């Protein structure tokens, strides 16, 4: 992969990169289209990274369908699929990691110890192999996207552009995710409570409510109506540092993590203008 990428660079080609864990859907394809607009060559990686999964998480059962992924990539103009094995990526064992010691402990990081260390490590490795000029990440994984952007800045990666793409949603508002395939019919209906809660918060915000406690209480009532197995968090944070805030001001992020059945779902809404959350209007 690296040898081929170096050849493209010598030829003056711009490389666009979309890192994924496979089981692709329209959300991923929206990232591919953004990469295509930025680059001459588009590379999609498909790699379920073991170092970002905890001991009781879903690494062994993470959904996969390489034939379908390949066809979707072909239809959307992807030039190269990079599909390494865990043995390829960690041939000498995962001895050296990339760790961030501030933002990675908040939100999802508080519930998934070591997760973002694994994410940043594999993204750093992928960047060194694919050598992209531009890389595209989805807003649904907002914390991940912010951490990657900070890693590129702080460690001087020669990735010129990090693009954070809007959330793509199902017709009923549920954010697209490979893990949605875990949901049974009843769970699928109950999962709508996440986007419904974000709509409630957006409505209150547009009506003039700026107190975060009031917004979080309203969202909790909506989510509890979906009878979740657990609510990991309902938070409103400053986008720059992911620290909780009391009152909406500047660029903020409303972030949710909720367990429906055995499935952990995340969603978010950026304020002030829903520029990337992409919630449908009523």
Cα atoms in the Cβ-side hemisphere of radius 13 Å centred on 66: 9
> Is the backbone peptide bond immediately before 270 cis, with ω within 30 degrees of 0?
no
28 catalytic, yes or no? Answer: yes
| Dihedral sign for Cα atoms in the order 48, 180, 252, 223 | negative
Expressed in percent and rounded to 5, the helix, strand and coil fractions of the chain are 40, 20, 40
Distance CA 9, CA 54 (A): 37
DSSP secondary structure, 107-137, as one string = THHHHSTTHHHHHHHHHHHHHHHH--SEEEE
User: Around Cβ 85, how many Cβ atoms within 10 Å?
Assistant: 9
Q: Collapsing DSSP states into helix, strand and coil, what is residue 231?
A: strand
Round to whole Å and give the CA distance between 138 and 165. Answer: 5
Q: Find the catalytic residue in 25, 28, 64, 83.
A: 28
What residues are labeled active site? 28
């Amino acid at each position: 992969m690296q040898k081929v990428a170096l050849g493209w660079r010598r030829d003056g080609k711009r490389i666009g990169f979309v890192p994924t864990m496979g089981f692709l859907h329209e959300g991923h394809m929206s990232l591919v289209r953004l990469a295509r607009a930025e680059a001459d060559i588009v590379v999609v990686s498909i790699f379920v990274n073991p170092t970002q999964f905890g001991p009781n998480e879903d690494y062994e059962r993470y959904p996969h369908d390489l034939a379908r992924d390949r066809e979707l990539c072909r239809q959307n103009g992807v030039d190269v699929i990079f599909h390494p094995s865990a043995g390829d990526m960690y041939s000498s064992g995962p001895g050296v990691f990339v760790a961030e010691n501030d933002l990675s402990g908040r939100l999802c990081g508080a519930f998934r110890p070591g997760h973002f260390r694994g994410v940043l490590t594999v993204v750093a490795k992928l960047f060194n192999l694919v050598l992209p000029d531009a890389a595209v990440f989805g807003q649904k994984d907002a914390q991940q996207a912010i951490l990657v952007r900070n890693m590129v800045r702080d460690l001087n990666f020669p990735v010129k552009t990090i693009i954070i793409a809007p959330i793509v949603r199902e017709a009923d508002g549920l954010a697209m995710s490979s893990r949605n395939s875990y949901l049974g019919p009843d769970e699928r209906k109950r999962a709508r409570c996440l986007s419904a809660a974000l709509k409630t918060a957006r409505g209150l915000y547009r009506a003039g409510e700026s107190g975060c406690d009031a917004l979080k209480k309203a969202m909790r009532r909506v989510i509890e109506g979906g009878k979740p197995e657990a609510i990991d968090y309902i938070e409103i944070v400053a986008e720059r540092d992911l620290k909780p805030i009391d009152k909406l001001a500047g660029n903020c992020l409303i972030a949710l993590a909720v367990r429906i059945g055995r499935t952990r779902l995340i969603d978010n809404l950026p304020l002030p203008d829903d520029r990337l959350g992409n919630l449908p209007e009523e």
